Structure 1
Amino acid sequence: MKPLLFFLFLFSSSLYPVLSQSNLLETVKKNPNEAKNLCNKFREFNSKGISASSDKVIEYVSNKKKLTPVNAEIFSIYVIGLHCPDII
């Protein structure tokens, strides 16, 4: 019985990051104006020669959205793909 409970605990714990990322991506869908504002910020960075995938931009998104760097990178990629494909 204990191994089964342990397995269920590990399985449910491993789903938490996936579910939280899904919720994060849903916020982009529900708030397109926020995503467009972020696209404009990405364009501003690009105009200064800074790529939207650079560490500096990921740090900006991480701080602005209070995300881990990994989630900020995922969030940024999703925003770019959905709302601002002209960003590099």
Structure 2
Amino acid sequence: MKSRPRAGQLAWVAAALVLAASPFAPGAQAQSQLLESVKQNPDRAKALCAQLRNLNAQGLSATSQQAVAQIARQENLSPMDAEVLTTYVIGLYCPDVR
């Protein structure tokens, strides 16, 4: 049975999408393209989910500073973009990740 996202996770995804879609937010166009790239490439999202699950197994939250910094380096993103990407991927592809 597939687990359903919790309300808190959905709120984070909604906030990330609003931020990415806002024409007034700095880097909004880049964030929108970033999220679209994951949406168009589910294998990339699955790979990020596996990486985030591995971080959880090591006792790290997927949204911790260390995890976000690792994703930012790996994906060549700013920390803010890495956090938006991580939140988006968790909300849509791996709600079991903490």
The answer as to 2:94 corresponding to 1:84 is yes
- Secondary structure in 2 matching 1:50: coil
Determine which of 37, 41, 54 is the counterpart of 1:44.
Answer: 54
Quote the offset at 1:62 in angstroms.
0.2
Report whether the alignment pairs 1:61 with 2:66. Answer: no
Percent of pairs with identical residues: 41
Larger radius of gyration: 1
Q: Which runs of 4+ in 1 moved over 2 A?
A: 13-16
Compute the displacement of 1:83 (Å): 0.5
Instruction: Identify unmatched segments of 5+ residues in structure 2.
Output: 1-22
Cα deviation for residue 16 of structure 1 reads 6.0
- When residues 15 and 49 of structure 1 are mapped into structure 2, their CA distance, relative to the original with a 3 A threshold, is closer
Shift of 1:49: 0.7
Higher helix share: 1
TM-score (norm 1): 0.80
Give the Å deviation of 1:19: 1.0
Say what the alpha-carbon RMSD is for the aligned residues. 1.5
Query: What number of residue pairs does the alignment pair up?
Result: 76
* Length-normalised TM-score, structure 2: 0.72
Whole-Å separation in 1 of the counterparts to 2:60 and 2:71: 14
